[in-house]
Amino acid sequence: MKLKIAVLAGDGIGPEISVQGVNVMQAVCQKFGHEVTFTEALCGAAAIDAVGDPFPAETLKVCQDADAVLFSAIGDPRFDNNPSAKVRPEQGLLAMRKQLGLFANIRPVQTFDCLIAKSPLREDLVRGADFVCIRELTGGMYFGEKKEGDDYAYDTNAYSRPEVERILKVAFEYAMRRRRHLTVVDKANVLASSRLWRKVAQEMAPNYPEVTTDYMYVDNAAMRMIQDPRFFDVMVTENTFGDILTDEGSCISGSMGLLPSASTGESTPVFEPIHGSWPQAKGLNIANPLAQILSVAMLFEYFGLAEEGKLVRQAVDASLDANVRTPEIQVEGGEKYGTREVGEWIVNYINAQ
Ligand code: IPM
Ligand code: MG
């Protein structure tokens, strides 16, 4: 297979973990005889500094010409601490989502045995938790009409039927491939937009008779995720609720550094770690590259390259078993490996298979 990959490394630790993802992808492609090419493009604060735009037209073009985007992270404290900044790195992320039509954000929450002790939740509650949150990514309050005055401001949480239908379709189909349990998360007791979601979901559910569909208010879902995370298989929700719930989900497993995600839709899909740019760690070679590397596994799987994805996951598991780990997940007294060293170990493992 021929694969054209756009590489958007972005800010903070982005460039360091990006290199490791690219190296792993290259090693796997070489092993399986795929022809892969990488084209780098600017985004985030790096792009603001270079050309004054967090998602320049040139970057959009590179993404549109590619089969997939391997994205790392954007964000920079220079902008966070400046509420009057005219452009922000995050606008680049939103522009990318909108311009590539990435309406479905797939965020798996999985536990790793070696991390269970790091979870803030009790081990017996967390062990075996394995669910996927499907977050709508191009609608709702993020993109609805807004007004920002000195004394009055609002955001609107607007959704159209086609927007709801297409994301629910992704969710039902995901559930069919998993344990066939879908939880539709909304706030239908208060919000009109949520009532539309629930109505559309109830209309679609009979088309998927094998799927057990339940409906949960978002406040209750937030609680249930902590009380009983194993309850969930696939959950689907709107943009803002999904943003909040996926941060909550990411800490169930004990480290954000291990969770990848995929955003798919109308154009080129994007694969990225769910963690941010961790500016304090920039250049220190301490960031965990595994979420980026597992994003490469999701990329392969998206293209139906299951064996390739499996090899990446196997290599990641082997590195954890061999205690080749970055500081935040290393066991007490264990040697701490850098971003680069973990990546190199994984590449060597792949080459040796
Ligand atoms: C995420 C992030 C983004 C979001 C920010 C950086 C704009 O939190 O991907 O979850 O809110 O969607
Ligand atoms: Mg978020």
Kindly give the number of the ligand 1 atom that is closest to the alpha carbon of 247.
10
Ligand nearest to the CA of 75: 1
Name the packing angle between helices 306-321 and 339-352 (round to 10°).
Answer: 120
Q: What is the pLDDT of residue 255?
A: 77
The atom of ligand 1 lying closest to the CA of 246 is 10
**Which of the ligands is closest to the CA of residue 94?**
1
Stretch 189-200: mean pLDDT:
98
pLDDT in the model for residue 61: 98
- The pLDDT value given to residue 330: 87
Mean pLDDT score, 255-279: 93
Which residues are close to ligand 2, an ion, with C-beta < 5 A? Answer: 243
Please list the residues that pair with 172 across neighbouring strands.
Answer: none
Atom 2, ligand 1: residue with shortest CA distance: 243
**Helices 44-51 and 89-99 sit at what angle, rounded to 10 degrees?**
100
Rounded Cα gap, residues 214 and 97, in angstroms? 28
CA dist list (Å): 215 to 171, 207, 335, 349: 13, 16, 46, 44
Q: How many CB atoms lie within 10 A of CB 86?
A: 9
Q: Is the pTM of this model over 0.75?
A: yes
Q: Would the pLDDT of 196 be above 90? A: yes
Q: pLDDT category, 310, cuts 50, 70, 90?
A: very high
- What mean pLDDT value characterizes the chain? 95
Quick one: pLDDT band at residue 312, thresholds 50, 70, 90?
very high
Is pLDDT above 90 for 74?
yes
133 Cβ closer than 6 Å to some ligand 1 atom: no
Ligand 1 atom nearest to CA at 75: 6
142 is catalytic: yes
